[in-house]
């Protein structure tokens, strides 16, 4: 297969694989009785650390601040997170998972890990490293192209 056809095949596979991977993960959340917005919020909150700025969490998840606020309201009402005002910037809130939130996040991560392990069964560590290298390269290239278009 020539290079252009390989690139074309790669580009064709990304959207459906990404979409169905996320749908499978959302199914895992539903099986645990968690909406995708609250589940992903807990997962990303944990991955970011113990005390996260609300704006940074919204940026990482890829949603607007108002959408995140609604989700955080639900998580706080369920006793899964705590919010506190930033003492240096009263307009900014910091978020952290409660013990109950961390326990639920742990269950979510365990199930997501099981799914990833099953999906990637038979794929070598080297192949995964190569895929990660390609994805990182694509992310940088896409970002560079976007910046070039904005600036030019």
Kindly state whether residues 137 and 113 are assigned to the same domain.
Answer: no
Q: 47, 9 in Cβ contact below 8 A? A: no
Kindly state whether residues 27 and 68 are assigned to the same domain.
Answer: yes
The sheet that has 52-53: what strands, in order across it? 52-53, 89-97, 81-86
Query: How many C-beta atoms surround the C-beta of residue 71 within 10 A?
Result: 22
What DSSP line would sit under 55-82, residue for residue? HHHHHHHT--HHHHHHHHHHHHHTTSEE
Kindly state whether residues 152 and 84 are assigned to the same domain.
Answer: no
Kindly state whether residues 94 and 130 are assigned to the same domain.
Answer: no
Kindly state whether residues 64 and 136 are assigned to the same domain.
Answer: no
Closest CA to 111 of 34, 1, 10: 34
Q: pLDDT digit string (tens) for 52-104?
A: 888 889 888 888 888 899 999 999 999 999 998 877 777 778 899 999 999 99
How many independent structural domains does the chain possess? 2
In angstroms, the first-to-last Cα distance of the chain is 35
Work out the pLDDT band at 125, boundaries 50, 70, 90.
very high
Where in the sequence is the domain holding 96, given as residue range(s)?
3-121
């Amino acid at each position: 297969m020539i290079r252009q056809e390989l690139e074309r095949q790669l580009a064709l596979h990304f959207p459906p694989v990404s979409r169905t991977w996320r749908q499978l993960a959302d199914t895992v959340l539903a099986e645990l009785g968690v909406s995708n917005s609250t589940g992903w919020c807990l997962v990303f909150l944990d991955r970011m650390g113990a005390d996260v700025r609300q704006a940074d969490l919204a940026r990482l998840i890829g949603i607007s601040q108002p959408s995140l606020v609604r989700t955080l309201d639900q998580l706080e009402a369920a006793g899964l997170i705590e919010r506190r005002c930033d003492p240096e910037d009263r307009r900014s809130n910091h978020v952290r998972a409660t013990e109950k939130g961390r326990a639920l996040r742990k269950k979510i991560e365990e199930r997501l890990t099981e799914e990833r392990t099953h999906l990637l069964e038979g794929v070598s560590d080297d192949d995964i490293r190569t895929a990660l290298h390609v994805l990182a390269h694509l992310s940088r290239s896409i970002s560079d192209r976007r910046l070039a278009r904005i600036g030019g």
